[in-house]
Amino acid sequence: MGKIFCLMGKSACGKDTIYKQILSEENLPLKTLIPYTTRPIRDGERNGVEYYFLTDEEQQALERQGKIIELRAYHTIHGLWKYFTANDHQLDLANHDYLIIGTLESYTKLQEYFGTHSLVPLYIDLEPGERLQRALNRERMQTEPKYAELCRRFLADEEDFSIEKLAQAKISNIFINNDSAQCTKKIISYIRKQI
């Protein structure tokens, strides 16, 4: 039976960069499990790579079909944005291991759906000041920066990934991302031991 490695951490901790570095490792046979969202696509993102970008109507159609495993909705400055995982064409746990980017909430819901034996948490952490600076630098590069949303997400992440919530989810193995290359090497080594 395959495993789902759930890469998670607060916004701007380096998840996307590490995710791409892990997937570029030639001798690591991981498939992607791309999540879905109804939020607008950001500059530089591609549909079907970071996320599948759907309309609210498309998300509701999947829900009516019973294909949504877990769904999170966030009231943002720009409206309601949904993020979710679907039981779709991507999943074949009998034959493959997967890597997904998620939140602590999505991890616990996936764990409920697939069982504790199938989910492996990979929690990335970074000093808050550095994380905030990275988020600000990234937002400045957008065509229409959304600074209020950046602030909301930063504060929400402090609560969503609190020490108490990490302990409740039994996540104790934390990868510190002071150096992306070194952090990625540690995560890849950990994944190899789990497969």
DSSP secondary structure, 107-129, as one string: HHHHHHHH-TTTEEEEEEE--HH
Q: Is pLDDT above 90 for 127?
A: yes
pLDDT the model gives residue 58: 97
- The structure tokens listed for 148 are 């209020």
- The structure tokens listed for 97 are 């291991």
Average pLDDT score over residue span 116-127: 95
DSSP-derived 3-state class of residue 52? strand
**Residues 176, 126 contacting (CB under 8 angstroms):** yes
> Alpha-carbon distance 63 to 55, whole Å?
13
For 76-116, write each residue's pLDDT tens digit. 888 999 999 998 888 899 999 999 988 898 899 999 988 88
**Residue 153: which H helix or E strand, with range?**
helix 147-160
**Residues 86, 36 contacting (CB under 8 angstroms):** yes
